[in-house]
Amino acid sequence: MLKIRLRRGGMRNAPYYRIVVSDSLRTPSASVIEEVGHYDPSRETHKINLDKDRVTYWLGKGAMMSDTVKSIVKRAQ
């Protein structure tokens, strides 16, 4: 099953997340199918860059969103 979830990057105490589509049986740090957005929580405005068309496409293909990504997508709209 495919899952839309966060993949952590950045430095220690300065996280930066990519919103990715990957296989749910693999770890989040494994290879990804597609990167659909970015989330930077360290800024005051919590910068969210999201390709909504691609998220809708992958949801149509049967991908599931993690709870955290659901809340980020809700904030982006």
| CATH number of the CATH domain containing 60 | 3.30.1320.10
Q: Is residue 72 part of a domain?
A: no
Predicted confidence pLDDT, tens digits, the chain (77 residues) = 899 999 999 899 889 999 999 988 887 778 889 999 999 998 777 889 999 999 999 999 999 999 999 999 998 87
Whole domain around residue 12: which residue ranges?
A: 2-64
> What pLDDT is stored for residue 30 in this prediction?
83
Q: How far apart are CA 19 and CA 71, in angstroms?
A: 12
Domain tally, the chain? 1
Q: Is residue 7 part of a domain?
A: yes
> In degrees rounded to 5, what are phi and psi of residue 66?
-70, 165
- Which two structure tokens, joined as six digits, stand for 19? 């919103």
50: left (phi over 0), alpha (psi -120 to 50) or beta: beta
The per-residue b/e assignment along 30-41, b for 16 or more CB within 10 angstroms, e otherwise, is eebeeebbebee
> What pLDDT is stored for residue 46 in this prediction?
82
Predicted TM-score (pTM) of the model is: 0.87
> What pLDDT is stored for residue 18 in this prediction?
94
Q: 67 CB contacts (<8 Å, ≥6 apart)?
A: none
